[in-house]
Structure 1
Amino acid sequence: MKTYLKYALMSVLAFGIVSCDDDDNNSERGEARMAVRLTDAPGDYDAVFIDVQDVVIKYNGNNDDDDDITISNDVNAGVYDLLELTAGTNVLLVDDQVETGNLSQIRLILGSDNTIVVDGETFPLQTPSAQQSGLKVQVNETLEDGIFYEFLLDFDVDESIVQQGNGGYLLKPVIRASVEAESGAISGTVLPLDFITEVTATNGTTEISAFTNETGQFLLAGVPSGTYTLTYQIDAAAGFETITVTDVNVEVGAITTVDAVTFQ
């Protein structure tokens, strides 16, 4: 039986206000993999440089800025010219494991080195609050256990730059966020509970393994779409023969739950 995940394939979302929906309080969350890429629509400037220092996320029900969660300690920080990130070009800011749950926001924390080049002249680009709370992008996406999600943050430069009366320039970002699930997963249960079972999925080119937990459950995460054969193996010393299950179909954005397996 397939449990389909509710996700938006390249759904366009506007920059806006934090949702106040309650998040579940389950402390035993699973993990999803999440990547964030930055791109841009063309703008009528010579260059627009933004100084990306960090990427943080917020879950629904969490309105305290002090509880923002940094996705990774290995953020690809740097000063990026948005006008070079066009025509399909983008930059990977982060790719890491995060907790599952209803993700409400992605925030880009900027440094102080933000500038704009107009007719060959460079001007400071003001970014109110971007150094503290970050550029806030609403996403409202449910992250499910074992699935890989890739978010694309698309700046609209023409809409995001405001020329002020004093001749200065202000960044008032209009950012569209799209998300695509890039993999599926396989879950199931193995009995008896007295033994740890290794479960392996293979289709000839991909092989992914996991062990059962104390309740006999397993999750094979990040599985590309395709048809797989599952093998269940307990330590040979226990005297059980390997069990094989064929024709297990995996689709992107879905968890395929297979029937429980019992060793006799």
Structure 2
Amino acid sequence: MMLRPLTYALLSAPLLFAACNNDNDSSDSSKLEVRLMDAPGDFRAVILDVRQIEVHTREESNPDGWQILPFQMQAINVLEYVNGRSALLVSTDFEPGDLKEVRLILGPDSYVIGRDGQRYDLKTPSGQTSGIKLKLDKATLRARETYQLLLDFDVAKSIVERGNWKPGNDKKERYLLKPVIRVVAQDIKGGLRGSVTPAATLPQILAIRSSLTLPDTFSTSADATGAFQLSGIPSGTYRIEFFPTTTAPNGQAAYKNAVRTNISVVNEQMTDMGQTALQ
């Protein structure tokens, strides 16, 4: 399947915003956007064969509530949409009202390119039959407003290596795709960004919302330049933990874990943590 380029945008705007006024436009419809973004993962490419996108507008038990969105099926390399970039999958006029679920139908041609340069097919039985269903909480489209659903795909949790696979076995049988996708709705508008040094540490990063009795945890990775960003996270006070995934070259000081505390995230703002040293 040919890869088609996707439109991407920096997620600096609020997720729910009023449409531009037009005195000649009497339409009472809403505008619905669906975007996809990802946290970096330990692969060269992660290709999702997305065939169809649907939303459900009625109660879960009602099978007639599904509506197909205008989406051209395509293969998407989700690793291209990290650190604030997102792929615009759908932008369409839509009837105001509640959305209950969003569903992705995947085809049989999803795969990864590993660090070894080899292609490994991704088996996704549920994604190719009933689809990947994501529940929405209080998602309401209002007339003459644009509503955005951001699908935050977690590569590290979604791609699972079979326990009995060994080098030399059939490459098609190495990985299973069990998608872990967080849906960011309009009332979750905070963001967090920064960088690490040295960039070669390639750390995993946990953002733990410590202002709750039961803490929320969000994760990402720094890219090859040392930059990282989490978008669409709730406001609150966070503890940020850094875990290098590489080791320092001989003759250099060892890479080390780091913790930053009392990091404040505010709705509709991007908190810049600046630089964090891991050596």
Q: Normalised by the size of structure 1, how large is the TM-score?
A: 0.53
% same residue? 39
Q: Which has the higher contact order (CA 8 A, sep 6+)?
A: 1
Structure 1 segment 107-118 matched on structure 2, within 5 A: 107-118=103-114
Aligned-partner residue type, residue 121 of structure 2: P
What residue number does 2:179 align with? 173
How far the C-alpha of 1:154 sits from its partner, in A, is: 0.9
Q: Within 5 A, what are the aligned runs for 1:1-264? A: 31-65=29-63, 67-72=65-70, 75-118=71-114, 119-140=116-137, 141-167=139-165, 168-180=174-186
Q: What is the total number of aligned residue pairs between the two structures? A: 154
Tell me if the contact between 2:15 and 2:148 (Cα under 8 Å) persists in the aligned partners.
Answer: no
Change (3 A) 1:65 1:109: farther
Contact 1:77 1:93 in 2 (8 A): no
* Uncovered stretches (5+) of structure 1, i.e. residues with no partner: 1-8, 12-29, 182-264
* Secondary structure of residue in 2 paired with 1:130: helix
Matched residue type, 2:131: G
Larger radius of gyration: 1
User: 1:151 & 1:106 partners in 2: Cα distance?
Assistant: 9
* Cα distance, 1:62 vs structure 2: 4.1
Q: Tell me how far apart the structure 1 counterparts of residues 72 and 86 of structure 2 sit (CA, whole Å).
A: 12
Q: Secondary structure at the match of 1:112?
A: coil
- CA distance in 2: counterparts of 1:122 and 1:45, whole angstroms: 10
SS in 1 for 2:143: coil
Amino acid at match of 1:106: V
The equivalent of 2:21 in structure 1 is none
Counterpart code for 2:52:
D
1:128, distance to aligned residue in structure 2 (A): 1.9
Q: CA deviation at 1:174?
A: 1.1
Give how far 1:99 is off: 2.2
| Superposed CA offset, 1:29-56 (max 9, x none) | x632100011101111121110111110
CA deviations 1:208-261 (Å, max 9, x no partner) are xxxxxxxxxxxxxxxxxxxxxxxxxxxxxxxxxxxxxxxxxxxxxxxxxxxxxx
> What amino acid is aligned across from residue 126 of structure 2 in structure 1?
S
Q: Distance in 2 between matches of 1:104 and 1:67?
A: 9
One-letter amino acid matched to 1:114? S
Which sections of structure 2, spanning at least 5 residues, go unmatched? 1-13, 17-27, 166-173, 188-279
Letter paired with 1:137:
L
Contact residue 48 and residue 106 of structure 2 kept, 8 A = yes
Q: Give me the whole-angstrom Cα distance separating, in 2, the residues matched to 1:125 and 1:10.
A: 31
Report how far residue 171 of structure 1 moved.
Answer: 1.1
Measure, in 2, the Cα distance between the counterparts of 1:180 and 1:76.
Answer: 25
Shift in Å, 1:169: 0.9
